[in-house]
Amino acid sequence: MKKGLNTICVHTGDVEDKVYKGAVSPMYLSTAYAYEGLEKSMYPRYFNSPNQLMLAKKMAALENAQSALIFGSGMAAITTAMLSVLKSGDHVILQNQIYGGTRNFIVEECVQYGIDFDFVDVNNWSELKSNLRPETKLIYIETPSNPLLEITDIQSISRLAQENGILTMADNTFASPINQRPLDFGIDIVIHSATKYLGGHSDITAGVVASSHAIMEKVFSKAKNFGGNLADQTVWLLERSMKTLNLRVKQQTDNAQIMAEFLEESEFVERVYYPGLKSHSQHDLAASQMQGFGGMLSFDLSPKCGISKFFESLQLIKNVLSLGGVESTVLSPEKTSHSLLSQKDRDQQGIKSNLVRFSVGIEDTKDLKRDFQMAFSSSLL
Ligand SMILES: *Cc1c(COP(=O)(O)O)cnc(C)c1O
């Protein structure tokens, strides 16, 4: 029988301490191991050091994958996975709203390898179908999306792709495997920035690719050439962090629902974007493919408040760039994550200058509410 999520988080993939029988995994830092034939020889850049192999088991178990690899960053995972399944002459379809770094990789790098691409509204069926070509090899999605928490229909997209012999890849960073497991809906490859929820304490950069044995063989053969493995000290720290993944994400998800409802009621907020709200146009779709609605939400601040003053007035909630940590953070997508887009592109995507993205932490919601109340009053124009 498959183990429960908390049990997987705590136990799957711990390295047994055979010498001292300690309670936690020993850290193996060797870069040189006894040579046991090429197949078996261990070397960190071959992604097969003891700590890497064991953490990969935990990740595979969480994503219901056959196999996984741990990378030095989310981008190392994304780029290696893409170049494992794409070659010169191929075409890739990407969801319009994806992580900026992924977009840059496609636009700035992939063209140099002769890989063609289109960004499409993947929820617009006729637009998606009209962009399919005989050379289309991959459809790439990210759901919920950043920063407006739009939901992509995972099952419909993977069905369409399968019918056309196309592979699918999903960036599952925002939901985490606690709230969403895309492989269960027919997606071929899942990637993560483990820098966010998996690490969870804003102190680790890492990435994950998870898929079938056959696809992971291909990913491994590129990965060892590109050399994007995670250092074993950090692999160990990530394993330690992931023991509390389910507890953290559950609390963040519960908090996000409470805060989304609070913000929706507030006279200082124009609109809240959170898939857990009945007012979210894709609430039912989200409920059909997510176990929980996640810890990320966004909202449009009322024009009654000045946005800079609002950010300055928050005391508990930090104004910092990343997301997924145990601490609550906010940012202005216009000024940070989406600042490189033109005004026209931001307008088109619905990213307004008063938009606030909120990564909900594990703090007590009464304290988070108080912090917002105070910042709303202090920023009144
Ligand atoms: C942060 C992030 C990435 C990139 O991960 P890094 O660890 O910064 O390389 C990719 N996708 C999403 C959705 C992210 O939030």
The reported pLDDT for the residue numbered 78 is: 98
Main-chain dihedrals φ then ψ at residue 371, nearest 5 degrees: -60, -45
**Domains present along the chain, CATH in parentheses:** 5-242 (3.40.640.10), 246-378 (3.90.1150.10)
Pocket test for ligand 1, best of 80, 94, 173 (most atoms within 8 A of CB): 173
Share of the chain above pLDDT 70, in %: 99
| CB of 185 closer than 6 angstroms to any ligand 1 atom | no
What confidence score (pLDDT) does residue 9 get? Answer: 97
Instruction: Determine the atom of ligand 1 nearest the C-alpha atom of 207.
Output: 7
CB of 195 closer than 6 angstroms to any ligand 1 atom: yes
- Overall average pLDDT of the 209-238 stretch: 98
Tens of pLDDT, residues 131-166: 999 999 999 999 999 999 999 999 999 999 999 999
Q: Whose Cα sits closest to atom 11 in ligand 1? A: 99
Q: What's the whole-number mean pLDDT along residues 101-122?
A: 94
Q: Quick one: pLDDT at residue 2?
A: 84
C-beta of 324 in contact with ligand 1 (< 6 A): no
State yes or no: pLDDT of 26 exceeds 70.
Answer: yes
Q: Per-residue confidence at 37, pLDDT binned at 50, 70, 90? A: low
Give the pLDDT score at 318. 95
Whole-angstrom distance, CA of residue 140 vs CA of residue 195: 20
Kindly give the distance from the C-alpha atom of residue 238 to the centroid of ligand 1, in angstroms, as a whole number.
16
* Atom of ligand 1 at shortest range from CA of 98: 13
Q: What is the pLDDT of residues 294-337, one digit of tens each?
A: 999 999 999 999 999 999 999 999 999 889 999 999 999 999 88
CA angle 162, 165, 167 (to 5 degrees): 75
Distance 106 CA to ligand 1 centre (A): 14
Distance (Å, rounded) from C-alpha 152 to C-alpha 168? 13
Mutate to test the pocket of ligand 1, among 95, 196, 322 (most ligand atoms within 8 A of CB): 196
The pLDDT score that the predictor gives to residue 34 is: 84
Contacts of 242 (CB under 8 A, 6+ apart): 9, 55, 58, 198, 200
CB-ligand 1 contact for 196 (6 Å cutoff)? yes
DSSP 294-345: -SEEEEEEPTTB-HHHHHHH-SSSEE-S--SSSS-EEE-TTTTTTTTS-HHH
Over the range 284-306, which residues count as b (16 or more CB within 10 Å of their CB) and which as e? Answer: ebbeebbbbbbbbbbbbbbeebb
Threshold 0.85, pTM exceeds = yes
What percent of the chain is modeled with pLDDT above 90? 90
pLDDT tens per residue across span 174-208: 999 999 999 999 999 999 999 999 999 999 999 99
| CA 99–ligand 1 middle distance (angstroms) | 7
Summarize the confidence of residues 235-244 as an average pLDDT: 97
Please tell me the predicted confidence (pLDDT) of residue 175.
Answer: 98
Is pLDDT of 1 > 80? no
Distance (Å, rounded) from C-alpha 150 to C-alpha 143?
Answer: 7
Mean pLDDT computed over 289-295: 98
Which residue puts its alpha carbon closest to atom 5 of ligand 1?
74
The pLDDT of residue 38 is 60
348 falls in which pLDDT band (50, 70, 90)?
A: confident
Q: What is the mean pLDDT of residues 325-352?
A: 90
Residue 225: pLDDT over 90: yes
pLDDT at residue 39 greater than cutoff 90: no
